[in-house]
């Protein structure tokens, strides 16, 4: 059996009754988290551009909602627009493995198709668990990053099968959908290299949009390229450098959505533990009557993925965009030591160009550690070694920052994240209504009203 057939057969057979209570609950938490990050990005220029574009598209009475508006449109357009909102702040969830990823990038796609098909809350939950499972299992199986490709390719495959389940496609149609989504959504890693642009917010939502388009073709009988994985020019040969297989979840073993992580700080995930360590050491520094001005040097010991992605390029020492700043581990550590937190304000130009912060960044070094490589991806081990100007040496290692599956955020913390990011965008009454919608998702006859609210 080809891998596309295996994935499609599993997707077609999985039923809501097969899900664990933990997986169902986590979908609710991830919808709250995705709503939070989307609202936090609502006033950004990138979000305004994609929202204007989506609202310029023809209205569809029974279509998918453009977040924060009364406009409904085709599900592929909605997935692209809403997905860019969810992703923009680099604050949505994460999964780390051979390939790092942000699996909630699938939620705008499954929600858009669920709305367009009149699906129930349970249908949406099932489709979302499927999309997470496919993407995360592929991330476990093979790295795209090491060969220069971007992780959003796996979003195209996960979103395609999540959407196909909502449209109740047959396994053969799902195989064609994977072929159609897989053959033309291969993205390069340049999205996340050097000075980073607004496109970082859209790379995954573009893959999700194209996945929906692929399913719409396949369910109408359009055929896709054969052997998308095993073929002579397929994934194994061209992207990952060799064959692989996946083991898919069930009620006994659980599902991958419960192995993913919600972000506590709006920063690239590999830096979360470095931020955590910096904030703990800052308390020690201030307890001794000192401040970040009294730091002589900082050494960040880390693992290959973190060094490669957010710690090795010269652009990360002089960010010129928000997107580059939230991918600079050194900058975020220095900002945390000065400010006592990392928030959306950390990534404003006036902050990442502050001479005092940049001077400390110039006294910061990042190096790869074999010891810490051994702790990844089970954890994200970062060690900070701070030398004060008076010669005092402080050290802190963190493997499981708040929000990691090994140190998960509480439901109350997830709710607080939404209320914090939604402040000034929607009213407290609307925030409460959204939370009620999300927590009652498994009882909802339809998900048509989710994200169809008005902003303040």
Given this structure, which CATH class describes domain 269-398? alpha beta
Cα separation, 161 vs 112, whole angstroms:
14
Per-residue pLDDT tens, the chain, 456 aa: give them.
899 999 999 999 999 999 999 999 999 999 999 999 999 999 999 999 999 999 999 999 999 999 999 999 999 999 999 999 999 999 999 999 999 999 999 999 999 999 999 999 999 999 999 999 999 999 999 999 999 999 999 999 999 999 999 999 999 999 999 999 999 999 999 999 999 999 999 999 999 999 999 999 999 999 999 999 999 999 999 999 999 999 999 999 999 999 999 999 999 999 999 999 999 999 999 999 999 999 999 999 999 999 999 999 999 999 999 999 999 999 999 999 999 999 999 999 999 999 999 999 999 999 999 999 999 999 999 999 999 999 999 999 999 999 999 999 999 999 999 999 999 999 999 999 999 999 999 999 999 999 999 997
CA dihedral 316, 317, 323, 326 (to 10 degrees): 90
CA dihedral 103, 106, 111, 113 (to 10 degrees): -160
pLDDT of residue 413: 98
What one-character DSSP code corresponds to residue 95? B
- How many degrees, rounded to 5, is the angle at CA 205 between CA 225 and CA 235? 30
Give the C-alpha distances (Å, rounded to integers) separating 18 from 173, 255, 320: 22, 10, 48
Q: Locate the domains of the chain by residue range.
A: 3-264+410-443, 269-398
Nearest to 322 by CA among 299, 345, 297, 291: 345
The CATH fold assigned to 3-264+410-443 is: 2-methylcitrate dehydratase PrpD (1.10.4100)
**What is the rounded radius of gyration, in angstroms, for the C-alpha atoms of the chain?**
22
pLDDT of residue 456: 75
pLDDT of residue 1: 87
Asked if residues 256 and 136 have their Cβ atoms less than 8 Å apart, the reply is yes
């Amino acid at each position: 059996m080809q891998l596309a057939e295996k994935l499609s057969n599993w997707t077609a057979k999985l039923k809501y009754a097969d899900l664990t209570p933990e997986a169902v609950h986590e979908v609710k938490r991830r919808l709250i988290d995705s709503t939070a990050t989307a609202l936090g990005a609502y006033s950004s220029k990138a979000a305004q551009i994609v929202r204007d574009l989506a609202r310029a598209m023809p209205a569809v009475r029974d279509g998918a909602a453009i977040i924060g508006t009364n406009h409904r449109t085709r599900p592929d357009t909605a997935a692209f627009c809403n997905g860019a909102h969810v992703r923009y702040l680099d604050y949505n969830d994460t999964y780390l493995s051979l390939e790092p990823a942000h699996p909630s990038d699938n939620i705008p796609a499954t929600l858009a198709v669920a709305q367009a098909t009149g699906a129930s809350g349970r249908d949406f939950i099932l489709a979302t668990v499927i999309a997470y499972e496919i993407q995360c299992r592929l991330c476990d199986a093979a790295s795209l990053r090491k060969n220069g490709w971007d992780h959003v390719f796996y979003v195209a495959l996960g979103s395609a099968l999540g959407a196909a389940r909502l449209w109740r496609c047959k396994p053969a149609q799902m195989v064609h959908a994977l072929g159609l989504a897989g053959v033309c959504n291969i993205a390069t890693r340049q999205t996340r290299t050097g000075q980073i642009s607004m496109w970082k917010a859209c790379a995954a939502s573009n893959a999700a949009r194209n996945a929906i388009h692929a399913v719409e073709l396949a369910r109408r009988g359009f055929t896709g390229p054969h052997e998308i994985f095993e073929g002579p020019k397929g994934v194994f040969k061209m992207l990952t450098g060799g064959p692989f297989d996946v083991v898919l979840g069930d009620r006994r073993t659980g599902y991958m959505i419960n192995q993913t992580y919600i972000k506590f700080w709006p920063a690239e995930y590999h830096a979360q533990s470095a931020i955590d360590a910096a904030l703990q050491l800052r308390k020690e520094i201030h307890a001794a009557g000192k401040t970040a001005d009294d730091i002589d040097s900082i050494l960040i010991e880390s693992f290959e993925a973190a060094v490669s992605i957010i710690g090795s390029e010269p652009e990360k020492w002089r960010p010129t965009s928000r997107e580059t700043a939230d991918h600079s581990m050194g900058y975020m550590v220095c900002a945390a030591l000065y400010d006592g937190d990392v928030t959306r304000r950390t990534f404003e130009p006036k902050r990442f160009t502050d001479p005092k912060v940049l001077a400390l960044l110039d006294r910061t070094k990042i190096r790869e550690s074999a010891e810490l490589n051994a702790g990844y991806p089970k954890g994200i081990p970062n060690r900070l070694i701070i030398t004060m100007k008076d010669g005092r040496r402080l050290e802190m290692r963190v493997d499981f920052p708040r929000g990691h599956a090994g140190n998960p955020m509480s439901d109350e913390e997830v709710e607080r994240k939404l209320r914090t990011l939604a402040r000034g965008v929607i009213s407290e009454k609307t925030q409460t209504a959204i939370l009620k919608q999300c927590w009652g998702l498994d009882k909802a006859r339809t998900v048509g009203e989710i994200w169809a609210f008005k902003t303040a």
